[in-house]
Chain A
Protein backbone atom coordinates (compact mmCIF):
# COMPACT_ATOMS: atom_id res chain seq x y z
CA UNK A 1 0.00 0.00 0.00
CA UNK A 2 1.26 3.47 -0.82
CA UNK A 3 -0.14 6.75 0.30
CA UNK A 4 0.64 10.39 -0.31
CA UNK A 5 -0.95 13.75 0.27
CA UNK A 6 -1.16 16.77 -1.98
CA UNK A 7 -2.52 20.28 -1.55
CA UNK A 8 -4.54 21.52 -4.50
CA UNK A 9 -2.79 24.57 -5.96
CA UNK A 10 -5.06 25.29 -8.89
CA UNK A 11 -7.36 28.26 -8.34
CA UNK A 12 -10.31 26.32 -9.78
CA UNK A 13 -9.91 23.19 -7.67
CA UNK A 14 -10.72 19.80 -9.21
CA UNK A 15 -12.79 20.90 -12.18
CA UNK A 16 -14.06 18.74 -14.99
CA UNK A 17 -10.97 19.01 -17.13
CA UNK A 18 -8.34 18.10 -14.51
CA UNK A 19 -10.71 15.50 -13.03
CA UNK A 20 -10.92 13.87 -16.45
CA UNK A 21 -7.13 13.91 -16.80
CA UNK A 22 -6.68 12.39 -13.31
CA UNK A 23 -9.30 9.71 -13.85
CA UNK A 24 -7.88 8.76 -17.26
CA UNK A 25 -4.44 8.44 -15.67
CA UNK A 26 -5.69 6.39 -12.69
CA UNK A 27 -7.58 4.00 -14.96
CA UNK A 28 -4.29 3.00 -16.63
CA UNK A 29 -3.28 1.07 -13.54
CA UNK A 30 -4.53 -2.19 -12.00
CA UNK A 31 -4.19 -1.11 -8.40
CA UNK A 32 -7.06 0.49 -6.55
CA UNK A 33 -6.75 4.26 -6.26
CA UNK A 34 -8.74 5.96 -3.53
CA UNK A 35 -8.86 9.66 -2.88
CA UNK A 36 -10.01 11.41 0.25
CA UNK A 37 -10.74 15.08 0.74
CA UNK A 38 -12.86 17.12 3.13
CA UNK A 39 -13.62 13.94 5.13
CA UNK A 40 -15.11 12.31 2.05
CA UNK A 41 -13.78 9.20 0.38
CA UNK A 42 -13.83 8.74 -3.38
CA UNK A 43 -12.53 6.45 -6.08
CA UNK A 44 -10.06 8.07 -8.46
CA UNK A 45 -11.25 5.80 -11.27
CA UNK A 46 -14.80 7.08 -10.94
CA UNK A 47 -15.14 10.61 -12.28
CA UNK A 48 -18.41 11.44 -10.52
CA UNK A 49 -16.89 10.38 -7.24
CA UNK A 50 -13.86 12.61 -7.80
CA UNK A 51 -15.87 15.64 -8.89
CA UNK A 52 -18.33 15.39 -6.02
CA UNK A 53 -15.53 15.72 -3.44
CA UNK A 54 -15.66 19.45 -3.90
CA UNK A 55 -11.88 19.81 -3.64
CA UNK A 56 -10.93 23.45 -4.06
CA UNK A 57 -7.69 25.40 -3.96
CA UNK A 58 -5.93 24.71 -0.69
CA UNK A 59 -7.75 21.43 -0.02
CA UNK A 60 -5.45 18.70 1.28
CA UNK A 61 -6.17 15.45 -0.53
CA UNK A 62 -4.86 12.01 0.28
CA UNK A 63 -4.29 9.33 -2.36
CA UNK A 64 -4.10 5.68 -1.35
CA UNK A 65 -2.88 3.04 -3.78
CA UNK A 66 -3.19 -0.70 -3.35
CA UNK A 67 -2.05 -3.26 -5.90
CA UNK A 68 0.83 -4.76 -7.85
CA UNK A 69 1.57 -1.64 -9.88
CA UNK A 70 1.13 0.80 -7.02
CA UNK A 71 4.72 2.12 -7.37
CA UNK A 72 4.20 3.09 -11.00
CA UNK A 73 0.80 4.54 -10.23
CA UNK A 74 2.29 6.55 -7.35
CA UNK A 75 4.85 8.26 -9.62
CA UNK A 76 2.41 8.84 -12.44
CA UNK A 77 -0.37 10.26 -10.29
CA UNK A 78 1.92 12.48 -8.25
CA UNK A 79 3.29 14.00 -11.48
CA UNK A 80 -0.21 14.27 -12.90
CA UNK A 81 -1.39 16.22 -9.85
CA UNK A 82 1.61 18.55 -9.93
CA UNK A 83 1.12 19.36 -13.58
CA UNK A 84 -2.62 19.82 -13.59
CA UNK A 85 -3.71 20.91 -10.13
Chain B
Protein backbone atom coordinates (compact mmCIF):
# COMPACT_ATOMS: atom_id res chain seq x y z
CA UNK B 1 0.00 0.00 0.00
CA UNK B 2 1.26 3.41 -0.97
CA UNK B 3 0.08 6.48 0.94
CA UNK B 4 0.46 9.82 -0.78
CA UNK B 5 -0.33 13.29 0.54
CA UNK B 6 -1.81 16.16 -1.40
CA UNK B 7 -4.23 19.06 -1.19
CA UNK B 8 -7.87 18.08 -1.07
CA UNK B 9 -10.62 19.90 -2.91
CA UNK B 10 -13.50 18.03 -1.31
CA UNK B 11 -14.77 16.78 2.03
CA UNK B 12 -15.59 13.13 1.50
CA UNK B 13 -14.25 9.67 0.74
CA UNK B 14 -14.06 8.13 -2.72
CA UNK B 15 -13.10 4.52 -3.43
CA UNK B 16 -12.59 3.16 -6.92
CA UNK B 17 -10.32 1.89 -9.70
CA UNK B 18 -7.59 4.25 -10.84
CA UNK B 19 -6.65 4.93 -14.45
CA UNK B 20 -3.57 6.88 -15.48
CA UNK B 21 -4.41 9.56 -17.98
CA UNK B 22 -1.82 10.86 -20.42
CA UNK B 23 -2.63 13.67 -22.82
CA UNK B 24 -1.61 14.06 -26.45
CA UNK B 25 1.46 12.38 -27.94
CA UNK B 26 4.87 14.08 -27.93
CA UNK B 27 5.76 16.47 -30.70
CA UNK B 28 8.64 15.68 -33.00
CA UNK B 29 10.35 18.70 -34.46
CA UNK B 30 10.92 18.91 -38.18
CA UNK B 31 12.30 21.43 -40.64
CA UNK B 32 9.54 23.19 -42.53
CA UNK B 33 10.23 24.67 -45.94
CA UNK B 34 6.82 26.13 -46.77
CA UNK B 35 6.70 28.45 -43.77
CA UNK B 36 3.81 30.55 -45.07
CA UNK B 37 1.65 27.46 -45.28
CA UNK B 38 2.70 26.50 -41.77
CA UNK B 39 1.60 29.91 -40.45
CA UNK B 40 -1.79 29.35 -42.09
CA UNK B 41 -1.99 25.94 -40.42
CA UNK B 42 -1.31 27.60 -37.09
CA UNK B 43 -3.92 30.32 -37.63
CA UNK B 44 -6.54 27.75 -38.66
CA UNK B 45 -5.87 25.70 -35.54
CA UNK B 46 -5.89 28.86 -33.42
CA UNK B 47 -9.29 29.82 -34.80
CA UNK B 48 -10.67 26.35 -34.16
CA UNK B 49 -9.35 26.62 -30.63
CA UNK B 50 -11.12 29.96 -30.21
CA UNK B 51 -14.39 28.46 -31.42
CA UNK B 52 -13.96 25.55 -29.04
CA UNK B 53 -13.36 27.95 -26.17
CA UNK B 54 -16.60 29.75 -26.91
CA UNK B 55 -18.41 26.41 -26.57
CA UNK B 56 -16.57 25.58 -23.36
CA UNK B 57 -17.52 28.98 -21.97
CA UNK B 58 -21.21 28.33 -22.65
CA UNK B 59 -21.01 24.88 -21.01
CA UNK B 60 -19.23 26.37 -18.02
CA UNK B 61 -21.81 29.14 -17.62
CA UNK B 62 -24.41 26.50 -16.92
CA UNK B 63 -22.34 24.12 -14.84
CA UNK B 64 -20.32 26.55 -12.73
CA UNK B 65 -21.76 30.02 -13.22
CA UNK B 66 -20.46 33.25 -14.71
CA UNK B 67 -17.66 34.00 -12.27
CA UNK B 68 -15.82 30.71 -12.74
CA UNK B 69 -16.66 30.43 -16.43
CA UNK B 70 -14.65 33.63 -16.86
CA UNK B 71 -11.57 31.42 -16.92
CA UNK B 72 -12.41 30.51 -20.51
CA UNK B 73 -12.85 34.13 -21.47
CA UNK B 74 -9.36 34.77 -20.16
CA UNK B 75 -8.16 31.85 -22.29
CA UNK B 76 -9.77 33.47 -25.33
CA UNK B 77 -7.93 36.72 -24.67
CA UNK B 78 -4.68 34.78 -24.33
CA UNK B 79 -5.30 33.12 -27.70
CA UNK B 80 -5.80 36.58 -29.18
CA UNK B 81 -2.73 38.00 -27.48
CA UNK B 82 -0.43 39.49 -30.10
CA UNK B 83 2.74 38.70 -28.13
CA UNK B 84 1.80 35.04 -28.06
CA UNK B 85 0.83 34.96 -31.73
CA UNK B 86 3.84 36.94 -32.94
CA UNK B 87 6.23 34.70 -30.97
CA UNK B 88 4.83 31.59 -32.63
CA UNK B 89 4.69 33.08 -36.13
CA UNK B 90 8.25 34.34 -36.02
CA UNK B 91 9.47 30.94 -34.79
CA UNK B 92 7.80 29.39 -37.83
CA UNK B 93 8.93 32.02 -40.33
CA UNK B 94 12.45 32.60 -39.04
CA UNK B 95 13.42 29.24 -37.60
CA UNK B 96 11.47 27.02 -39.97
CA UNK B 97 9.82 25.21 -37.09
CA UNK B 98 6.59 23.28 -37.43
CA UNK B 99 3.55 24.93 -35.96
CA UNK B 100 3.43 22.29 -33.18
CA UNK B 101 7.05 22.91 -32.21
CA UNK B 102 6.59 26.68 -32.34
CA UNK B 103 3.53 26.54 -30.10
CA UNK B 104 5.40 24.30 -27.66
CA UNK B 105 8.32 26.69 -27.40
CA UNK B 106 6.07 29.74 -27.03
CA UNK B 107 4.11 27.88 -24.39
CA UNK B 108 7.27 27.09 -22.44
CA UNK B 109 8.46 30.69 -22.73
CA UNK B 110 5.28 32.27 -21.39
CA UNK B 111 4.78 29.57 -18.76
CA UNK B 112 8.24 30.30 -17.46
CA UNK B 113 7.42 34.01 -17.37
CA UNK B 114 4.53 33.32 -15.01
CA UNK B 115 6.30 30.65 -12.97
CA UNK B 116 9.08 33.13 -12.23
CA UNK B 117 6.74 35.71 -10.76
CA UNK B 118 6.64 36.24 -7.02
CA UNK B 119 2.91 35.94 -6.66
CA UNK B 120 1.52 32.41 -6.15
CA UNK B 121 -1.59 33.33 -8.04
CA UNK B 122 0.41 34.44 -11.07
CA UNK B 123 2.56 31.33 -10.93
CA UNK B 124 -0.60 29.27 -11.26
CA UNK B 125 -1.45 31.09 -14.50
CA UNK B 126 1.25 29.07 -16.25
CA UNK B 127 -1.42 26.39 -16.34
CA UNK B 128 -3.63 28.60 -18.50
CA UNK B 129 -0.84 28.97 -21.06
CA UNK B 130 -0.38 25.19 -21.07
CA UNK B 131 -4.10 24.74 -21.60
CA UNK B 132 -4.43 26.99 -24.64
CA UNK B 133 -1.25 25.62 -26.16
CA UNK B 134 -2.42 22.05 -25.74
CA UNK B 135 -5.67 23.04 -27.36
CA UNK B 136 -4.01 24.55 -30.44
CA UNK B 137 -1.79 21.49 -30.76
CA UNK B 138 -4.70 19.08 -30.54
CA UNK B 139 -6.34 20.93 -33.44
CA UNK B 140 -3.04 20.86 -35.38
CA UNK B 141 -2.46 17.16 -34.89
CA UNK B 142 -6.10 16.18 -35.01
CA UNK B 143 -5.36 13.97 -32.03
CA UNK B 144 -7.93 14.09 -29.30
CA UNK B 145 -7.59 12.15 -26.11
CA UNK B 146 -10.82 10.73 -24.84
CA UNK B 147 -11.38 11.79 -21.29
CA UNK B 148 -14.59 9.96 -20.62
CA UNK B 149 -14.14 6.75 -22.58
CA UNK B 150 -14.19 4.28 -19.71
CA UNK B 151 -16.38 1.23 -19.38
CA UNK B 152 -16.93 1.86 -15.68
CA UNK B 153 -16.49 4.87 -13.38
CA UNK B 154 -12.82 5.52 -12.56
CA UNK B 155 -10.55 7.79 -10.61
CA UNK B 156 -8.27 9.62 -13.02
CA UNK B 157 -4.63 10.05 -12.19
CA UNK B 158 -2.63 12.52 -14.23
CA UNK B 159 0.45 14.67 -13.91
CA UNK B 160 -1.72 17.64 -14.67
CA UNK B 161 -5.28 18.32 -15.73
CA UNK B 162 -6.10 21.54 -17.49
CA UNK B 163 -9.24 23.66 -17.07
CA UNK B 164 -10.54 22.66 -20.53
CA UNK B 165 -10.20 19.03 -19.54
CA UNK B 166 -11.90 19.47 -16.16
CA UNK B 167 -14.94 21.21 -17.62
CA UNK B 168 -15.43 18.31 -20.03
CA UNK B 169 -15.27 15.53 -17.45
CA UNK B 170 -18.41 13.44 -17.27
CA UNK B 171 -19.26 12.99 -13.60
CA UNK B 172 -21.01 9.71 -14.30
CA UNK B 173 -17.76 8.25 -15.66
CA UNK B 174 -15.27 9.99 -13.42
CA UNK B 175 -15.44 9.39 -9.67
CA UNK B 176 -12.68 11.88 -9.00
CA UNK B 177 -9.09 12.67 -9.91
CA UNK B 178 -5.59 13.17 -8.54
CA UNK B 179 -2.77 15.20 -10.02
CA UNK B 180 0.81 15.78 -9.04
CA UNK B 181 0.74 19.35 -10.29
CA UNK B 182 -1.69 22.05 -9.37
CA UNK B 183 -2.30 24.50 -6.60
CA UNK B 184 -5.35 25.72 -4.75
CA UNK B 185 -5.02 28.90 -6.79
CA UNK B 186 -5.28 27.13 -10.09
CA UNK B 187 -8.28 27.39 -12.35
CA UNK B 188 -8.38 23.60 -12.29
CA UNK B 189 -8.98 23.67 -8.54
CA UNK B 190 -11.60 26.38 -8.83
CA UNK B 191 -13.49 24.47 -11.50
CA UNK B 192 -13.23 21.11 -9.71
CA UNK B 193 -14.71 22.64 -6.57
CA UNK B 194 -17.41 24.46 -8.48
CA UNK B 195 -18.37 21.21 -10.21
CA UNK B 196 -18.26 19.21 -7.00
CA UNK B 197 -15.63 16.86 -8.44
CA UNK B 198 -13.74 15.00 -5.71
CA UNK B 199 -10.05 15.69 -6.22
CA UNK B 200 -6.72 15.71 -4.49
CA UNK B 201 -4.07 17.80 -6.20
CA UNK B 202 -0.37 18.51 -5.70
CA UNK B 203 0.11 14.91 -4.68
CA UNK B 204 3.69 14.19 -3.64
CA UNK B 205 5.62 11.12 -4.84
CA UNK B 206 3.24 10.53 -7.66
CA UNK B 207 3.80 7.01 -9.01
CA UNK B 208 5.20 7.07 -12.54
CA UNK B 209 4.15 3.53 -13.27
CA UNK B 210 1.08 1.93 -11.77
CA UNK B 211 -0.93 -0.94 -13.11
CA UNK B 212 -4.28 0.03 -14.46
CA UNK B 213 -7.42 -0.38 -12.42
CA UNK B 214 -5.74 -0.74 -9.02
CA UNK B 215 -7.98 0.27 -6.17
CA UNK B 216 -7.43 3.73 -4.83
CA UNK B 217 -9.01 5.54 -1.89
CA UNK B 218 -9.20 9.32 -1.83
CA UNK B 219 -9.55 10.68 1.70
CA UNK B 220 -10.70 14.20 1.05
CA UNK B 221 -10.84 15.06 4.74
CA UNK B 222 -7.13 14.45 5.32
CA UNK B 223 -5.83 14.90 1.77
CA UNK B 224 -4.50 11.33 1.63
CA UNK B 225 -4.39 9.00 -1.35
CA UNK B 226 -4.17 5.26 -0.64
CA UNK B 227 -2.97 3.24 -3.61
CA UNK B 228 -3.71 -0.49 -3.28
CA UNK B 229 -4.89 -0.03 0.32
CA UNK B 230 -4.55 -2.91 2.77
CA UNK B 231 -7.64 -4.51 4.26
CA UNK B 232 -7.51 -2.53 7.49
CA UNK B 233 -7.47 0.79 5.61
CA UNK B 234 -10.28 -0.30 3.32
CA UNK B 235 -12.42 -1.12 6.34
CA UNK B 236 -11.72 2.15 8.15
CA UNK B 237 -12.29 4.25 5.06
CA UNK B 238 -15.43 2.40 4.03
CA UNK B 239 -16.84 3.03 7.47
CA UNK B 240 -15.94 6.73 7.30
CA UNK B 241 -17.56 6.92 3.88
CA UNK B 242 -20.74 5.34 5.18
CA UNK B 243 -20.84 7.73 8.15
CA UNK B 244 -20.56 10.74 5.85
CA UNK B 245 -23.24 9.37 3.56
CA UNK B 246 -25.61 8.61 6.40
CA UNK B 247 -25.15 12.12 7.79
CA UNK B 248 -26.07 13.43 4.36
CA UNK B 249 -29.09 11.10 4.25
CA UNK B 250 -30.27 12.37 7.63
CA UNK B 251 -30.15 15.87 6.31
CA UNK B 252 -32.02 14.83 3.16
CA UNK B 253 -34.54 13.00 5.35
CA UNK B 254 -35.27 16.24 7.16
CA UNK B 255 -36.52 17.85 3.95
CA UNK B 256 -40.22 18.47 4.12
CA UNK B 257 -40.30 17.97 7.88
CA UNK B 258 -41.56 20.65 10.23
CA UNK B 259 -39.35 22.85 12.38
CA UNK B 260 -41.05 21.76 15.57
CA UNK B 261 -39.70 20.94 19.02
CA UNK B 262 -40.78 17.85 20.94
CA UNK B 263 -43.24 19.95 22.91
CA UNK B 264 -44.72 21.43 19.77
CA UNK B 265 -43.06 24.85 19.58
CA UNK B 266 -42.49 26.00 16.02
CA UNK B 267 -40.25 28.47 14.23
CA UNK B 268 -39.81 29.21 10.54
CA UNK B 269 -36.49 28.70 8.75
CA UNK B 270 -35.72 30.90 5.77
CA UNK B 271 -32.59 31.59 3.70
CA UNK B 272 -30.25 34.56 3.30
CA UNK B 273 -29.09 34.89 -0.29
CA UNK B 274 -27.02 37.23 -2.44
CA UNK B 275 -27.32 35.70 -5.91
CA UNK B 276 -29.45 33.57 -8.21
CA UNK B 277 -27.11 30.62 -7.70
CA UNK B 278 -27.82 30.78 -3.96
CA UNK B 279 -31.53 30.86 -4.73
CA UNK B 280 -31.24 27.34 -6.09
CA UNK B 281 -29.27 26.24 -3.01
CA UNK B 282 -31.98 27.74 -0.81
CA UNK B 283 -34.65 25.69 -2.58
CA UNK B 284 -32.52 22.53 -2.50
CA UNK B 285 -32.20 22.96 1.25
CA UNK B 286 -35.92 23.33 1.84
CA UNK B 287 -35.97 27.02 2.81
CA UNK B 288 -39.46 28.23 3.68
CA UNK B 289 -38.72 31.52 1.99
CA UNK B 290 -36.00 34.11 1.48
CA UNK B 291 -35.67 35.99 4.78
CA UNK B 292 -33.02 38.29 3.39
CA UNK B 293 -32.29 39.10 -0.24
CA UNK B 294 -29.13 41.21 -0.09
CA UNK B 295 -29.89 43.45 -3.05
CA UNK B 296 -26.36 44.90 -3.05
CA UNK B 297 -25.20 42.22 -5.47
CA UNK B 298 -27.06 44.14 -8.17
CA UNK B 299 -24.97 47.23 -7.45
CA UNK B 300 -21.50 45.84 -6.78
CA UNK B 301 -18.80 45.09 -9.34
CA UNK B 302 -20.52 47.24 -11.88
CA UNK B 303 -19.68 50.39 -13.78
CA UNK B 304 -23.04 52.08 -13.42
CA UNK B 305 -26.36 51.88 -11.65
CA UNK B 306 -28.53 48.87 -12.43
CA UNK B 307 -31.56 50.04 -14.38
CA UNK B 308 -35.12 49.63 -13.16
CA UNK B 309 -35.70 46.96 -15.83
CA UNK B 310 -32.60 44.96 -14.82
CA UNK B 311 -33.67 45.03 -11.19
CA UNK B 312 -37.31 44.29 -11.99
CA UNK B 313 -36.39 41.19 -14.02
CA UNK B 314 -34.14 39.87 -11.30
CA UNK B 315 -36.60 40.38 -8.46
CA UNK B 316 -39.35 38.92 -10.62
CA UNK B 317 -37.29 35.78 -11.29
CA UNK B 318 -36.59 35.26 -7.60
CA UNK B 319 -40.15 35.97 -6.52
CA UNK B 320 -41.63 33.67 -9.17
CA UNK B 321 -39.16 30.89 -8.43
CA UNK B 322 -40.15 30.96 -4.76
CA UNK B 323 -43.73 30.31 -5.91
CA UNK B 324 -45.67 32.00 -3.15
CA UNK B 325 -43.07 31.56 -0.41
CA UNK B 326 -42.05 34.90 1.13
CA UNK B 327 -39.19 36.88 -0.38
CA UNK B 328 -37.95 39.73 1.78
CA UNK B 329 -35.90 42.20 -0.23
CA UNK B 330 -33.61 44.46 1.72
CA UNK B 331 -33.00 47.75 -0.04
CA UNK B 332 -29.43 48.57 -0.96
CA UNK B 333 -26.98 48.45 1.90
CA UNK B 334 -23.95 50.10 0.36
CA UNK B 335 -21.25 52.10 2.10
CA UNK B 336 -17.93 53.65 1.17
CA UNK B 337 -16.25 50.37 2.07
CA UNK B 338 -17.95 48.53 -0.80
CA UNK B 339 -16.92 48.54 -4.45
CA UNK B 340 -19.35 50.80 -6.28
CA UNK B 341 -17.36 53.82 -7.34
CA UNK B 342 -20.13 55.17 -9.53
CA UNK B 343 -21.97 56.11 -6.33
CA UNK B 344 -19.14 58.62 -5.77
CA UNK B 345 -19.27 58.16 -2.03
CA UNK B 346 -16.81 60.31 -0.12
CA UNK B 347 -13.97 58.44 1.57
CA UNK B 348 -14.67 58.05 5.26
CA UNK B 349 -12.63 57.27 8.34
CA UNK B 350 -15.38 55.09 9.73
CA UNK B 351 -17.52 53.63 6.97
CA UNK B 352 -19.33 51.38 9.46
CA UNK B 353 -20.62 54.51 11.17
CA UNK B 354 -20.92 56.49 7.98
CA UNK B 355 -22.94 57.47 4.98
CA UNK B 356 -24.50 54.17 4.03
CA UNK B 357 -27.68 52.18 3.41
CA UNK B 358 -30.89 54.05 4.20
CA UNK B 359 -28.95 57.30 4.71
CA UNK B 360 -27.90 57.28 1.08
CA UNK B 361 -31.43 56.37 0.00
CA UNK B 362 -32.99 59.22 1.93
CA UNK B 363 -30.40 61.75 0.77
CA UNK B 364 -30.60 60.58 -2.87
CA UNK B 365 -34.18 59.49 -3.43
CA UNK B 366 -33.66 59.21 -7.19
CA UNK B 367 -31.51 56.13 -6.59
CA UNK B 368 -33.91 54.79 -3.97
CA UNK B 369 -36.99 55.21 -6.15
CA UNK B 370 -35.52 53.14 -9.01
CA UNK B 371 -35.09 50.21 -6.67
CA UNK B 372 -38.50 50.68 -5.04
CA UNK B 373 -40.23 50.85 -8.42
CA UNK B 374 -38.56 47.61 -9.50
CA UNK B 375 -39.51 45.83 -6.26
CA UNK B 376 -43.11 47.07 -6.23
CA UNK B 377 -43.62 46.00 -9.85
CA UNK B 378 -42.01 42.58 -9.39
CA UNK B 379 -43.96 41.94 -6.20
CA UNK B 380 -47.18 41.19 -8.10
CA UNK B 381 -45.67 37.88 -9.18
CA UNK B 382 -45.58 36.30 -5.75
CA UNK B 383 -45.16 36.99 -2.07
CA UNK B 384 -42.63 39.79 -1.59
CA UNK B 385 -41.90 42.27 1.18
CA UNK B 386 -39.41 45.13 1.55
CA UNK B 387 -37.16 45.89 4.47
CA UNK B 388 -34.90 48.84 5.16
CA UNK B 389 -31.35 48.66 6.55
CA UNK B 390 -29.68 50.78 9.26
CA UNK B 391 -32.87 52.46 10.41
CA UNK B 392 -32.42 54.46 13.61
CA UNK B 393 -35.57 56.49 14.21
CA UNK B 394 -39.28 56.84 13.63
CA UNK B 395 -38.55 59.96 11.53
CA UNK B 396 -36.47 57.86 9.13
CA UNK B 397 -39.24 55.28 8.78
CA UNK B 398 -41.82 57.97 8.10
CA UNK B 399 -39.56 59.56 5.48
CA UNK B 400 -39.07 56.17 3.84
CA UNK B 401 -42.80 55.46 3.83
CA UNK B 402 -43.46 58.86 2.25
CA UNK B 403 -41.08 58.01 -0.60
CA UNK B 404 -42.74 54.62 -1.03
CA UNK B 405 -46.09 56.36 -1.29
CA UNK B 406 -44.71 58.75 -3.94
CA UNK B 407 -43.46 55.78 -5.95
CA UNK B 408 -46.87 54.10 -5.69
CA UNK B 409 -48.54 57.30 -6.91
CA UNK B 410 -46.14 57.52 -9.87
CA UNK B 411 -46.72 53.89 -10.84
CA UNK B 412 -50.47 54.42 -10.62
CA UNK B 413 -50.24 57.44 -12.92
CA UNK B 414 -48.14 55.42 -15.37
CA UNK B 415 -50.68 52.59 -15.32
CA UNK B 416 -48.04 50.07 -14.28
CA UNK B 417 -49.03 47.06 -12.20
CA UNK B 418 -47.58 46.94 -8.70
CA UNK B 419 -48.27 45.49 -5.29
CA UNK B 420 -50.30 48.10 -3.38
CA UNK B 421 -50.44 46.18 -0.09
CA UNK B 422 -46.81 45.10 0.02
CA UNK B 423 -45.51 44.65 3.57
CA UNK B 424 -42.81 47.04 4.78
CA UNK B 425 -40.40 46.05 7.53
CA UNK B 426 -37.22 47.31 9.10
CA UNK B 427 -33.89 45.83 10.11
CA UNK B 428 -33.11 46.24 13.78
CA UNK B 429 -29.36 46.45 13.67
CA UNK B 430 -28.37 49.41 15.79
CA UNK B 431 -28.68 49.73 19.56
CA UNK B 432 -30.86 52.81 19.00
CA UNK B 433 -33.32 50.84 16.91
CA UNK B 434 -33.49 48.03 19.47
CA UNK B 435 -34.01 50.42 22.36
CA UNK B 436 -36.86 52.32 20.67
CA UNK B 437 -38.26 49.19 19.03
CA UNK B 438 -41.57 49.84 20.77
CA UNK B 439 -42.01 53.05 18.76
CA UNK B 440 -40.69 51.49 15.56
CA UNK B 441 -43.01 48.48 15.89
CA UNK B 442 -46.03 50.77 15.48
CA UNK B 443 -44.77 52.00 12.11
CA UNK B 444 -43.88 48.79 10.26
CA UNK B 445 -45.28 45.36 9.44
CA UNK B 446 -42.30 43.32 10.68
CA UNK B 447 -38.80 43.40 12.14
CA UNK B 448 -35.67 41.52 11.16
CA UNK B 449 -32.80 41.60 13.62
CA UNK B 450 -29.39 42.02 11.99
CA UNK B 451 -27.32 40.52 14.76
CA UNK B 452 -23.95 40.99 13.04
CA UNK B 453 -24.11 44.77 13.05
CA UNK B 454 -26.15 44.92 16.23
CA UNK B 455 -23.40 43.06 18.06
CA UNK B 456 -20.69 45.20 16.52
CA UNK B 457 -22.33 48.48 17.44
CA UNK B 458 -23.44 47.36 20.90
CA UNK B 459 -20.04 46.02 21.96
CA UNK B 460 -18.11 48.68 20.02
CA UNK B 461 -15.93 45.92 18.50
CA UNK B 462 -14.96 45.32 14.88
CA UNK B 463 -15.77 41.63 14.37
CA UNK B 464 -13.19 41.31 11.62
CA UNK B 465 -10.36 42.47 13.85
CA UNK B 466 -8.59 39.30 14.97
CA UNK B 467 -6.66 41.28 17.53
CA UNK B 468 -9.88 41.85 19.43
CA UNK B 469 -11.20 38.31 19.42
CA UNK B 470 -10.47 37.80 23.10
CA UNK B 471 -12.73 40.78 23.86
CA UNK B 472 -15.49 39.67 21.55
CA UNK B 473 -18.35 37.65 23.02
CA UNK B 474 -21.06 36.95 20.41
CA UNK B 475 -23.37 35.78 23.21
CA UNK B 476 -22.85 38.94 25.26
CA UNK B 477 -25.74 39.53 27.66
CA UNK B 478 -26.21 43.04 26.32
CA UNK B 479 -26.86 41.76 22.79
CA UNK B 480 -29.23 39.05 24.01
CA UNK B 481 -31.11 41.58 26.15
CA UNK B 482 -31.55 43.87 23.14
CA UNK B 483 -32.84 40.95 21.08
CA UNK B 484 -35.25 40.03 23.87
CA UNK B 485 -36.48 43.63 24.12
CA UNK B 486 -37.00 43.81 20.36
CA UNK B 487 -38.97 40.57 20.26
CA UNK B 488 -41.18 41.65 23.18
CA UNK B 489 -41.90 45.03 21.59
CA UNK B 490 -42.66 43.45 18.23
CA UNK B 491 -45.20 41.05 19.70
CA UNK B 492 -46.75 43.77 21.85
CA UNK B 493 -47.50 45.65 18.64
CA UNK B 494 -48.62 42.38 17.05
CA UNK B 495 -45.94 42.28 14.32
CA UNK B 496 -43.62 39.41 13.44
CA UNK B 497 -39.91 39.40 14.21
CA UNK B 498 -37.13 37.35 12.63
CA UNK B 499 -33.38 37.11 12.98
CA UNK B 500 -31.30 37.33 9.82
CA UNK B 501 -27.82 37.71 11.30
CA UNK B 502 -25.29 34.99 12.04
CA UNK B 503 -26.67 34.34 15.54
CA UNK B 504 -29.72 32.84 13.85
CA UNK B 505 -27.64 29.84 12.90
CA UNK B 506 -25.96 29.54 16.28
CA UNK B 507 -27.19 26.22 17.68
CA UNK B 508 -26.40 27.31 21.22
CA UNK B 509 -29.05 30.00 20.98
CA UNK B 510 -31.81 28.18 19.09
CA UNK B 511 -33.61 27.10 22.24
CA UNK B 512 -33.46 30.65 23.64
CA UNK B 513 -34.84 32.12 20.43
CA UNK B 514 -37.68 29.64 20.29
CA UNK B 515 -38.56 30.34 23.92
CA UNK B 516 -38.43 34.09 23.36
CA UNK B 517 -40.95 33.56 20.61
CA UNK B 518 -38.88 34.62 17.62
CA UNK B 519 -41.06 33.92 14.58
CA UNK B 520 -38.39 33.04 12.06
CA UNK B 521 -34.67 32.49 11.59
CA UNK B 522 -33.14 33.37 8.25
CA UNK B 523 -29.78 31.75 7.69
CA UNK B 524 -27.28 30.72 5.06
CA UNK B 525 -28.98 27.91 3.04
CA UNK B 526 -26.60 25.16 4.15
CA UNK B 527 -27.54 25.71 7.80
CA UNK B 528 -31.26 25.13 7.34
CA UNK B 529 -31.40 21.34 7.55
CA UNK B 530 -28.87 21.07 10.41
CA UNK B 531 -30.90 23.69 12.30
CA UNK B 532 -34.07 21.75 11.68
CA UNK B 533 -32.35 18.69 13.19
CA UNK B 534 -31.42 20.72 16.27
CA UNK B 535 -34.95 22.08 16.63
CA UNK B 536 -36.59 18.67 16.37
CA UNK B 537 -34.30 17.43 19.14
CA UNK B 538 -35.27 20.22 21.53
CA UNK B 539 -37.87 19.77 24.22
**A residues apposed to B, CB below 8 Å:** 12-13, 15-17, 19-20, 23-24, 43, 45-49, 51-52, 54, 56, 79-80, 82-84
Contact = CB atoms under 8 A, between A and B. Distances in A.
The 6 closest A-B pairs by CB, nearest first: A47-B77, A82-B341, A16-B74, A20-B74, A48-B81, A83-B303
B74, B77, B82 pick with most chain A CB within 10 angstroms: B77
B341 A54 contact: no
A57 to B, nearest CB: 11
B342 A83 contact: yes
A72 to B, nearest CB: 14
Contact of B114 (A12, A52, A79): A52
Interface of B: 70-71, 73-74, 77-78, 80-84, 110, 113-114, 117-119, 121-122, 125, 128, 301-303, 339-342
Given A16-B74, A83-B303, A46 B81 contact: yes
A15 B121 contact: yes
12 contacts: A16-B71, A19-B74, A20-B70, A43-B82, A46-B81, A48-B84, A52-B117, A56-B119, A79-B341, A79-B342, A82-B341, A83-B342
A83 B119 contact: no
Contacts of B302: 83
A20 B77 contact: yes
Interface of B is mostly: helix
A37 to B, nearest CB: 13
B342 A23 contact: no
Contacts of B113: 48, 52
A16 B128 contact: yes
Contacts of A20: 70, 73-74, 77
Contacts of B342: 79, 83
A83 B78 contact: no
Given A48-B113, A79-B342, 8 more contacts: A16-B128, A17-B74, A20-B73, A47-B81, A51-B114, A52-B113, A83-B303, A83-B341
Nearest to A52: B113
B301 A83 contact: yes
A43 B80 CA distance: 13
Contacts of A84: 301
Contacts of A82: 341
A48 B79 CA distance: 10
Given A79-B303, A83-B342, A13 B119 contact: yes
B83 A46 contact: yes
Given A16-B125, A20-B73, A45 B118 contact: no
A44 to B, nearest CB: 12
Given A16-B128, A51-B125, A24 B77 contact: yes
A37 B22 CA distance: 40
B117 A54 contact: yes
B75 to A, nearest CB: 10
Contacts of A12: 121
B83 A17 contact: no
B68 to A, nearest CB: 10
A20 B114 CA distance: 16
Contacts of A49: 81, 83
